[in-house]
Homo-oligomer: A and B are copies of this chain.
């Protein structure tokens, strides 16, 4: 009886109807978080901004180390994360790799936030 009384007066029972389910399902939430995580680093944001502003919407990897004052391995690490997240694409031409934005990728990432 004491236990039953405790449950009946538990404040959690007096609050309000819980929402049935989150609007965003677990799978979509994982995918959105994956893309947004790639964007959640200041150096990666700056790399994207350089690529976006580059001639023809691309930048040579040789252009990406000096402005950020980072070492080549660190820049390569960040670029790989951006490629893996589907934000940048990489093309090797001769000695150098060139990076460009995946068309529509930033818009899609932005829409993941607005569409919550």
Contacts and interface: CB of A to CB of B under 8 A. Distances in A.
Interface of A: 11-12, 15-24, 26, 29-30, 32-33, 36-37, 39-50, 52-54, 59-60, 62-63, 66-68, 95-96, 106-107, 109-111, 113-114, 116
Given A39-B113, A40-B40, A116-B52, A33 B18 contact: no
A47 B94 CA distance: 47
B24 A49 contact: yes
Given A95-B11, A96-B15, A116 B49 contact: yes
Nearest to A20: B67
A8 to B, nearest CB: 16
A64 B96 CA distance: 50
Q: Enumerate the 4 nearest inter-chain pairs by beta-carbon distance, A residue then B residue, closest first.
A: A29-B42, A37-B40, A24-B49, A15-B62
A36 B52 CA distance: 19
Contact of A62 (B18, B20, B66, B116): B18
A29 B54 contact: no
B113 A106 contact: yes
A90 B91 CA distance: 47
